[in-house]
Structure 1
Amino acid sequence: MSLFLPIVPALLWLIFLLSLILICLYYRLLFFTGLCCALSLWLWQVQQHQLHTQRLLSLSDPWLKGQVVSIRQQDEDFSRFLWQINEGPHQGYLVRLRWQDAPQVLGQGQHWWFKVRCKAVRSPANPGSAYVEANAYVLGLVANCVVKDAVLLEHEWDHRQQLYQRLKAKIGDLPSFSLITALTLGERPFSDELWLGLQATALGHLISISGFHIGLLFGWVYGLMLLLANIHLRLLVCRQWAPFVALAAAWYYSLLAGFAIPTLRALVALVLAVYLMQQHRRLSYSQSWLLVCGLLLLLNPLWVMSISFWLTVYAVALIFLFVWRYPLLDHSFRGRVRHAVKFQALMTLLMSAPTLLFFHGIAPLALLSNLIFVPWCSLLVIPYLLVALLLELVLPAHAVWHWQLADLVLAPLYHWLLYGAAMDYWWLLPAQTVFSALLVALLLMAVFFLPGSAPKLRLSLLLLPFVFLLWPKVVQWQLHLIDVGQGTAVLLQKGDRGLLYDVGPVYGSFNATEAYVLPYLHYQGIRQLDYLVLSHADSDHTGAFSEVLKTYPKVQLIADFQTGYPQQPCLALPAVYLDARLGSFRSAYAKPEGNDSSCVLAIEAAGWRTLLTGDISNKVETELLSAEPDLKTDLLLLGHHGSKSSSHLSFLAQVQPLFALNSAAANNSYGHPSKEVRARLSLLQIPLLNTADQGAIRIEITDQQLDIWPYRQQPLPFWLQKQ
């Protein structure tokens, strides 16, 4: 129930819940007691996180003592890493640090005194992209900070950092190096091509160290210990120590993975399993599942804000359901293979519901990929990689043959990922709501409970969700102001077709086009992008537009500056796009590049008018009104992100917008939108919708009305929409 609270309640709610707990205990209403305890614990954790965040942000460039807890990521100008405060009132909380010109000695495990300048964890909020603020609660991350000064306290790297540096120096040039580090140390320095391959083949769960890998290692070590116990009577003690040795191996693997949250969840489940084994107690599948979920939420109730938590408990529930519904009766080799194929087929099918909800598509290679590479990785790749790690610790430093063999073992997986990326095997579907995804999951899950004598009914239930998903929807115009921070990206959409005006910023290594714009297009189900309009040459508008051209190779590029690609000028835009009317304007007196050279785009769809002004100044606004003296609009994108040099009073009074839209970053250093522009809008009583406050803004355009949906003001919390 706590998931459906749109805001974090005040302290009064916590007091109210504690009172309810006492009442429920008095009347022995144990279920409601547990429910109230869970809500109280969740609220307390959230409020503690907010309290420590506010206290840290109130300090002026404080000196803090802590430990580096992640392997640093190197950008062009900055090193980025996680740092855990280990002294003072904020002890135990994490900070994400950026350090310009960081020394090469910086590594995980070191203790430092840092003088830091911090700001709140806040990022653009778009459906279809990771929600960073919810993830901060999950990780215990209280601020993003920049290192201003530093004193090194302990020089030594920890075991994980030493192994990573050793592997990078020895085998960094092997083709499968990124896969080796992903499966041994949890570090994934993947190329864009490999990321696309993981999506297209649905094998991301194999490459990210999770409960599957930890449980697999536990099973291998436990089985090996039992095998030793059967060899000789003197080794019978191995049977007694088997669960503890296997648990120690799982702990070490989690250590190598940096104790990522999925590995911690797996360790909790394994500790419970070992405890029950020692107590000679057996639980039903449902009891085991509920007990593990309860323990996980007791350890950290904020995990409910993580999509990976829900994917994990959903997948485990499916496994238990399968084992209960389809026990292995035929123990022959053929029977085991048939059982494994049935398991993979049902898991792939039933996992399609959360895939639709969170990733907005289906990988047709999923079943084949899992049938081949789940056993390949389970029986060969992961066991051998762990053996190779042990060999790395005992062999001479110059020995590389064991990693060359690992490269050969990983070659089939590596080439399969490249093949999937090259063929672009990913079926994009329009974004689904939580309700539609739950409906699909329930319909698919019904397959579990149907008798084998009802094949036609099974087939009908299998086809029904996809008929529902692919049933033609009512097509109407939509305008999307994508939240890209300090930049611009606007999508005009009808059905699965669209026109994109600017693509967001590129600042150093940060690329809003890939981080926000392309995921948003995928989320909205844009299969055909007809026009890409780059208003002018500034990097906060052009971003990584080449990535858009690569994703939509048939798009027509519109730009008035040299891009190096086939293009048409702004004034070459057609007068009619689908059933909307377009009008374009460009200053006749502006320089070839610069803000005043912006392509101004007027759109009329379903009788409603929109004006996109780029970064034009008051001078060009006056020129525009001279060329179009009767210009009116219903939606106005403020020029230059709300700068005081644009959107002057006379211009606003002439075009008379119903709503002013603005694209700017929260707490940006430019002060956009300026107080002058805000005052002009207030004087004319024009409501302002700003991405810094509302996140992405979706406007549904019908003949009768404009329906405005700001992402940050949706009734469900962001972690339910996308995490």
Structure 2
Amino acid sequence: MKGNGYWLAIASALGVYLAPVSYSWIGGIVGLGGLIFIRSANRPLLFVSCVLFITCSTSVSFKSPNPPDLHSSSTQLSGIVKGNPTFAKEYTSFIFEDHQTKQKWNAFLFSPLDHRSVQIGSKCSLSGKVERHPFSRNPGEFNYETFMLLKGIRGTIIVDVSQLHCQGGSWYKELFSKRKEALDNLDQNLSPLTSSWVSALVFGEDRDLPDETIDLFQRWGLSHLLAISGLHVGLCIALFSYLTLRFSLLTKRKLIICLLFLLPIYIIFAGGAPSVIRAVCMAEAAMLLSLLKQKWPMTDIISYLFCSILILKPSLVHQLGFQFSFIVTFGILVSKKWISLSVHPIDSLLRISLLCQLVVLPLQLQSFYFFNPLSLLANLLFVPLMSIFVLPVCFIILVGVYILPSSLLNQLDTVFQKSLELCFLPLRGMDKFAVEWVIGQMSFVSILLFVFAFVWMMKRWELGKKRKSFLWGVVLSFILIAEASVPFLFSPGRVTMLDIGQGDCFIIEWPNRNHVMMIDAAGVLEGGEDETFTRIIQPYLHERGITKVNTLLLTHADQDHIGAAEEVITRFSVDTLITSSFFRGDLQIIEEKWKKVSSGDRFVIEETVFDVLYPIKESEDKNDNSLVISFKLGGLVWMFTGDVGKNGEENISSLSYELDADVLKVAHHGSDTSTGEQWLDAVTPRVALISAGLNNRYGHPHEQVMNRLNQQDVQIIRTDQKGAVIYQFSGETGTFYSHLP
């Protein structure tokens, strides 16, 4: 099997990917079985590959787990601490394994603890409240619960600090303690910015990096530079080897033996990142083979390592860092001959950057729904910059913290900060002209076609057949263009009520994406950072492949209706903003795009007529300045009401409008200040949509409103119960369904 180990890795990876698909193992048997008979010379290899595929595709470890059914609201457990605890200024958390059930839990305390009070391997008894992990309530939203369940962590226990008792620890707990002490030392002796960079690039602790920097790097496909990877491991090996050999401290053989013992320690100091585990294990395997005077292809080493990790720690395969690290490294190793054809270091770097971007593109689109075509240029500029300057200087600063006087260390700190600012000026300048190609989630067929075209493009290029390679590159581009174009050619219409929490956000898509309209764009009501746009609204739009919101209608100026409006206007190129004439809000949009309407007005979008029913006159109460509109779409008449109160409802009812509607967006999240009996008698809805936050402090929707709706046999659909609610239609017929069961 020597030289063909990649078949085992490919079979295993395909099995993991298809594990959630029922009976996918049958296809594996047919496909690989056919290859066994066709390629008789490799029958043992293909047979093992077939066994690995079936094992991975049927293993419970790789299937999407069901949410846990937590019967008890509190629990008392005894067990052991798994993994390195997290000590923050406001909280402490650690992974805890129960002795009796062997189930793992995320233990969380709303108070900081000393890092020696809870350590890896500590035996603890605790009690606290059991909670589910936060889960996705909208399409496109990151599902933290699935992420944690795939890591084998059943739920969260909010621990009572007075009921936590721990003692002892593992034999290597001191290594984690030293790591924590080193991080604390950085915080005490360096500026916050410098400390955050050294912590991220040397210790893998990136929590303190500025959000603006993380977002910037993510938009430009540079996130891998903020994570510890083979580059860091290679630099450590090179630095240690140079010093020991230069000063004749060790022979080459003793150096290798020494590295074999030291590198696993760096895994601990680097936070146990999957990319570090991969890089260290590959380096260890290569050095061990050199000691034994054996030669194995690096593709075999990484393939066997991949299969070994699947067996020993299957939860790692679900981590994006693990997936990116292995795919990129495997791609570089397989393309080694092609990379060696470069005639200049810049040409070599350009080839590697192109390869890395293309090889992870399907995975990137599956996770983030977009990529930046210009990230190739950004990688060309910043990979050398980070490798030659930023990373080595971070190691120098770390050493300087322990050996330099404070005055000299402060000067080094200041120079580093100014250097970072200068280094990132070009990237920030480029960011003003960033081009995000939003494609949405790729289908499985498109992924297979993309991989096939990519492999053939690389093979033709490696053989010097540049014309044919170019044609396969055109095919690659066509696959992406076709995937992005499908919604504009064959998609039904949709009306989506996002579960935004305590607020409103509706997105209307006309068939074939002819027009996209958003009604309200909520932000958080008070306190904390507003992540509504980045966590819910933007991921949903990107998952749908939407890059432009043609019309944004804001019913009134409350934060829970307009909190994310500025970001929507900026990031999604809004053509038209519609508000009432009495809208009390200041938004950054040119006057020509701002259309103000009031009672009696009418506007048309894609032959859909919108009637403005309210407001009639300005009110002191912002809620009674809410826009109330009615329109027919997908065979149903819709009534959107903002937060209008009973007085406004009575005023509308007194007018000579035809108010019958099939679907009523219940005003003010189901507050008893709205949705009176007179209003329901006038509207006679069949379906009531209520956008209210889960366990919100206002008690919305109020019992009185629910009773009035039930008395009229109205079907009630609530975001706090069903998550996002979608009405998908074609022509005059459609169906309601929800994101949650």
Map of 2:579 onto structure 1: 558
The equivalent residue for 1:242 is 256
Preserved contact between residue 64 and residue 150 of structure 2 (Cα < 8 Å)? no
Q: Secondary structure at the match of 1:664?
A: coil
Partner residue, 1:469: 480
Determine if the alignment matches structure 1 residue 361 to structure 2 residue 348. no
Task: Judge conservation of contact 1:128–1:522 (CA < 8 Å) in 2.
Answer: yes
Q: Does 1:194 align with 2:213?
A: yes
- Tell me the TM-score normalized by structure 1: 0.78
Cα distance change of structure 1 residues 7 and 570 upon mapping to structure 2, 3 Å threshold: farther
Per-residue deviation, residues 11-64 of structure 1 (Å, max 9, x unmatched): xxxxxxxxxxxxxxxxx98666545654675359987x966x737x53269999
CA gap of 1:402–1:482, structure 2 versus 1, over 3 A, is: same
- Tell whether the 8 Å contact from 2:263 to 2:280 is kept in structure 1 after alignment: no
**Residue 372, structure 1, aligned to residue 381, structure 2:** yes
Q: Report the counterpart of residue 548 of structure 2 in structure 1.
A: 528
Q: 1:498 matched to which residue of 2?
A: 516
Map 1:630-645; keep pairs closer than 5 Å: 630-643=658-671
SS at 1:611 equivalent = strand
For 2:492 and 2:59, locate their aligned partners in 1 and report how far apart those are by CA, in whole Å. Answer: 44
Q: Following the alignment from structure 2 to structure 1, what is the Cα–Cα distance between the partners of residues 612 and 109?
A: 42
Aligned to 1:137: 149
Number of the residue aligned with 1:423: 433
- Corresponding residue for residue 575 of structure 1: 603
Residues 1:42 and 2:60 aligned together? yes
Q: Contact (CA 8 Å) 2:693, 2:720: kept in 1 or not?
A: yes
Q: Secondary structure at the match of 1:564?
A: coil
SS of the residue aligned with 2:598?
A: helix
The corresponding residue for 2:355 is 346
**Out of 534, 549, 571, which is 1:514 matched to?**
534
The question of whether the paired residues in 2 share the 8 Å contact of 1:118 and 1:146 is answered with yes
Residues 65 and 216 of structure 1: is their aligned pair in 2 closer, same or farther, counting only changes over 3 Å? closer
DSSP-derived class of the 2:503 partner: coil
Deviations 1:90-146 (A, max 9, x none): 7783536463xx4xx646554398764442112443333322112222455444565
Give the gaps of 5 or more residues in structure 1. Answer: 10-27, 714-723
The 2-side partners of 1:480 and 1:40 are apart by 35
Match in the other structure for 1:486: 502
Larger RCO: 1 or 2 (CA < 8 Å, sep 6+): 1
Q: 1:71-98, CA deviations, whole angstroms, 9 ceiling, x for partnerless residues?
A: 5666xxxx35533337765778353646
Residues 4 and 604 (structure 1), Cα distance of their counterparts in 2 relative to 1, 3 Å cut = farther
Report deviation, 1:369.
Answer: 1.6
CA distance in 1 between partners of 2:83 and 2:241 (Å): 39
Q: 2:131 aligns with which of 108, 119, 144?
A: 119
1:84 aligned onto 2:105: no
Residue identity in the other structure for 1:198: F
1:552–1:43 distance in 2 versus 1, CA, 3 Å:
closer
Distance 1:61 1:484 in 2: 34
Give secondary structure in 1 for the equivalent of 2:432.
helix
Task: Give the letter aligned to residue 445 of structure 1.
Answer: V
Match of 2:10 in 1: none
Q: Structure 2 stretches of 5 or more lacking a match?
A: 1-14, 24-45, 119-123, 168-173, 589-593
Query: Offset at 1:618?
Result: 5.6
The residue type paired with residue 303 of structure 2 is L
Q: Does 1:661 align with 2:681?
A: no
Tell me what 1:382 maps to. Answer: 391
- Residues 443, 626 of structure 1: CA spacing in aligned structure 2 closer, same or farther, 3 A cutoff? farther
Write the deviation string for residues 473-497 of structure 1: whole angstroms up to 9, x where unpaired.
2276432222223322111234375
How many Å separate the matches in 2 of 1:376 and 1:2?
36
Give the distance between the partners of 1:30 and 1:181, measured in 2 at CA.
43
Partner of 1:24: none
- Which of 298, 311, 314 in structure 1 is aligned with 2:327? 314
Q: Which residue identity does 1:245 align to in structure 2?
A: L
SS at match of 2:549: strand
For the residue of structure 2 that corresponds to 1:460, the secondary structure is helix
Instruction: Using the TM superposition, give the Cα deviation of residue 202 of structure 1 relative to its aligned residue in structure 2, in angstroms.
Output: 1.7
AA paired with 1:294? C
Does the 8 Å contact 2:85/2:92 carry over to 1? yes
- Which residue in the other structure is 2:34 paired with? none
Q: Mapping of 1:595-674 within 5 angstroms?
A: 595-605=623-633, 607-616=635-644, 620-627=648-655, 630-643=658-671, 655=683, 657=685, 659-666=687-694, 668=696
* Matched-pair contact (CA < 8 Å) for 2:533–2:567: yes
Q: Which residue of 2 aligns with 1:19?
A: none
Counting only pairs closer than 5 Å after superposition, residues 387-406 of structure 1 correspond to structure 2 as: 387-396=396-405, 399-406=409-416
For 1:360 and 1:257, how far apart are their aligned partners in 2? 29
1:288 to 297, 301, 323: 301
RMSD: 4.4
Within the alignment, does 1:216 sit opposite 2:231 as a pair? yes
Closer/same/farther in 2, CA of residues 412 and 594 from structure 1, 3 Å limit: closer
How big is the shift at 1:322?
1.0
Q: The residue matched to 1:631 in structure 2 has which SS?
A: coil
Deviation at 1:203, TM superposition (A): 1.0
Give 1:706's aligned residue. Answer: 734
1:469 maps to amino acid = L
* Native 8 Å contact 1:194 1:418 kept in 2: no
Contact 2:613/2:627 (<8 A) preserved: yes
Work out the CA distance in 1 between the residues paired with 2:95 and 2:656: 58
Contact 1:632 1:657 in 2 (8 A): yes
Q: Distance between the aligned counterparts of 1:589 and 1:198, measured in 2?
A: 48
Please tell me the residue identity of whatever aligns with 1:351.
V
Q: For 1:684-718, what per-residue CA distance to the aligned partner results, in whole angstroms no more than 9, with x for missing partners? A: 665554434543334333314225564446xxxxx
Q: 1:620 to 1:189 in 2, by over 3 A?
A: same
State the Cα distance separating 1:590 from its structure 2 match.
9.1
- CA offsets, 1:555-606, max 9 Å, x none? 5262645323367656287511343222233355995336555332323335
1:632·1:654 contact (CA, 8 Å) conserved in 2?
yes
2:202 equivalent to 1:184? yes
**Residue 662 of structure 1 contacts residue 673 of structure 1 at CA under 8 Å; is this kept in 2?**
yes
Amino acid at match of 2:201: L
| Contact 1:94–1:139, Cα closer than 8 Å, also in 2 | no
- Work out the CA distance in 2 between the residues paired with 1:453 and 1:29: 34
Following the alignment from structure 1 to structure 2, what is the Cα–Cα distance between the partners of residues 614 and 598?
A: 5
Residue of structure 2 equivalent to 1:548: 568
Match of 1:696? 724
Question: Higher mean Cα deviation, 307-316 or 63-72?
Answer: 63-72
Tell me the residue number matched to 1:443.
453
Counterpart Cα distance in 1 of 2:549 and 2:270: 40
* 1:668 Cα deviation from its structure 2 partner: 4.9
**In the aligned structure 1, how far is the partner of 2:249 from the partner of 2:19?**
59
Q: Deviations over 1:362-408 (max 9, x none)?
A: 32331122122212322332233123212323334553344345435
Following the alignment from structure 2 to structure 1, what is the Cα–Cα distance between the partners of residues 308 and 666? Answer: 51
Q: Does 1:255 align with 2:284?
A: no
Q: Which amino acid aligns with 1:571?
A: S
The answer to which of 577-586 and 239-248 deviates more is: 239-248
8 A contact 1:699–1:707 mirrored in 2: yes
Separation in structure 2 between the aligned mates of residue 693 and residue 280 of structure 1, nearest angstrom? 64
- Report deviation, 1:447: 0.9
Matched to 2:451, the amino acid is A
Query: Once the two structures are superposed, what CA deviation does each residue of 1:297-318 show, in whole Å capped at 9, x if it has no partner?
Result: 2233234444444333332332
Q: Deviations over 1:180-219 (max 9, x none)?
A: 443234224344542442134221111123xxx2x22332
Describe the shift of the 1:182–1:2 C-alpha distance in structure 2 as closer, same or farther (beyond 3 A).
Answer: closer
